[in-house]
Amino acid sequence: MKEAWRSRSNRCSDAAAALTETCHAPVAPRHGCEQASVVRVRTGIVAAIASSAGLPRARRRIALAVGLVTGASAASAQDIEPRAFANTPVGVNFVIGGYAFTRGSLSSDPAVPLTDAQLQTSSLVLAYAHSFEILGMSAKLDAAAPFSWLSGTGNFAGQPVERTVSGLGDARFRLSVNFLGAPALTLEEFATWQQDLILGASVQVSVPVGQYDPTRAVNLGTNRWFLRPEIGASQRFGPLTLEATAAITFFSDNSDFLRGQRRSQEPLHSFQGHAIYSFGQGIWVSVDATYFTGGRTSIDGEANDDLLRNWRLGATFSFPLSAHYSVRLYGSRGVSARTGNNFDLLGAALQYRWGGGL
């Protein structure tokens, strides 16, 4: 009986190690123009193994393999999110709490014709993610809700405007499935699995439940829905993993913009690239880049000159605190912007994981 208990204890320790790098969850602030005040943080999985240095080599490989659980990609087309399609053992739950700060020339909503905007936002995000199986494939479901504080100035229709506001932002929900190279595995099965090429897809929806005042040009909520399908690929070369994703965001109209005007926006296309290096024991760093284009807006059928062609660069650092907790630090800044959204962003997220046999 004692030996059986000891064996199970060792298996749980190995499983915790395996989860060190495979979880990406919703909690990172939006790294783009869709809504600077609605944050979303993709935190690297909480799993960390303080003792993984003493594990056999095979077990250490597991620790390198896992590190992102799905994030309620509460993301807009401009999110920077490494490990968005990393494999995750089934049955694991993640809760993430995050904070993000943005400052610079940006609008809380790209469909608002705001110029020379100098805004600051501080956002807290609470997110939940769960990994499960669909027809033998690994899948993830996540949700995120932000609470933000926004203040700043800008010009609207040639006139200076100012706003200070706090409240809830729009909620986000996402379903992602890895259809090649990332089968649904238990924690014990995950111990012997090694990543090669992963192909996946996801769909995300934003629900307009955030604070919105139709008499104001700047709000925390957008008063409209969006749907965002995305595809991604992840290829591992030893400790280095290269990732690429492509997405398109479709927006519904806001029929109550500034006292009853109708505001619409064309689809927004986005592309991301990530170079991720794992140092072992659940520690990794990523260099990130994203480009987004499109998204021209119109008000009551009159088109605005606000076509987006923007580049952003960033970096992410994730490290474990224990077998159940991990921390992710990240930042990004605009390097080229056709219209606005050249802002700086800094954020941090703490993640806790449980379930799946741990």
pLDDT digits (tens, 9 = 90+) for 236-274: 999 999 999 999 999 999 999 888 899 999 999 999 999
More confident residue, 74 or 327: 327
Q: For residue 142, what are the CA distances in angstroms to 102, 174, 229?
A: 24, 5, 15
**Mean pLDDT on 286-292:** 94
Look-up: residue for tokens 């932002």? 169
Q: Is a pLDDT exceeding 80 seen at residue 182?
A: yes
pLDDT of the residue at 267: 96
* Residue 67: pLDDT over 60: no
Mean pLDDT of the chain: 78
Res. 156: pLDDT tops 80: no
Nearest to 82 by CA among 287, 227, 278: 287
* pLDDT for residue 113: 58
**pLDDT value of position 90:** 95
Residue 3 has pLDDT above 90, yes or no: no
Task: Supply the pLDDT for residue 151.
Answer: 87
State the pLDDT at residue 79.
65
pLDDT for res 232:
97
Do residues 289 and 310 make contact, with C-beta atoms less than 8 angstroms apart? no
pLDDT at 59 over 80: no
Instruction: Answer positive or negative: Cα dihedral of 130, 131, 133, 139.
Output: positive
Contacts of 250 (CB under 8 A, 6+ apart): 226, 227, 228, 267
Mean pLDDT computed over 11-17: 43
Both tokens assigned to 101: 């700060």
Res. 288: pLDDT tops 90:
yes
Q: Which residue has better confidence, 343 or 13?
A: 343
Indicate the class that CATH gives domain 2-355: mainly beta
Average pLDDT over every residue of 97-111: 73
pLDDT of res. 158: 72
Flag whether pLDDT at 163 surpasses 70. Answer: yes
The residue among 71 and 320 whose pLDDT is bigger is: 320
The predicted pLDDT at position 276 comes to 97
CB 288, CB 332: distance < 8 Å: yes
Distances, alpha carbon 260 to alpha carbons 72, 116, 211, 213, 285, in Å: 31, 25, 17, 11, 47
Instruction: Please choose, from the candidates 104, 111, 192, 185, the residue with its C-alpha nearest in 3D space to the C-alpha of residue 152.
Output: 104
What pLDDT was estimated at residue 211? 93
Give the strand order in the sheet containing 297-299.
254-257, 261-265, 297-299, 302-303
Q: How many residues belong to the chain?
A: 358
Which pLDDT score is estimated for 1? 46
Whether residue 311 contacts residue 6, with contact meaning beta carbons closer than 8 Å, is answered with no
CA distance linking residue 83 with residue 338, whole number of Å: 28
- As a whole number, mean pLDDT of residues 311-324 equals 93
Distance CA 357, CA 347 (A): 31
* Rounded mean pLDDT, 74-86: 68
How far is the CA of 313 from the CAs of 40, 48, 51, 120, in angstroms? 17, 27, 34, 19
Better-predicted residue by pLDDT, 154 or 92? 92
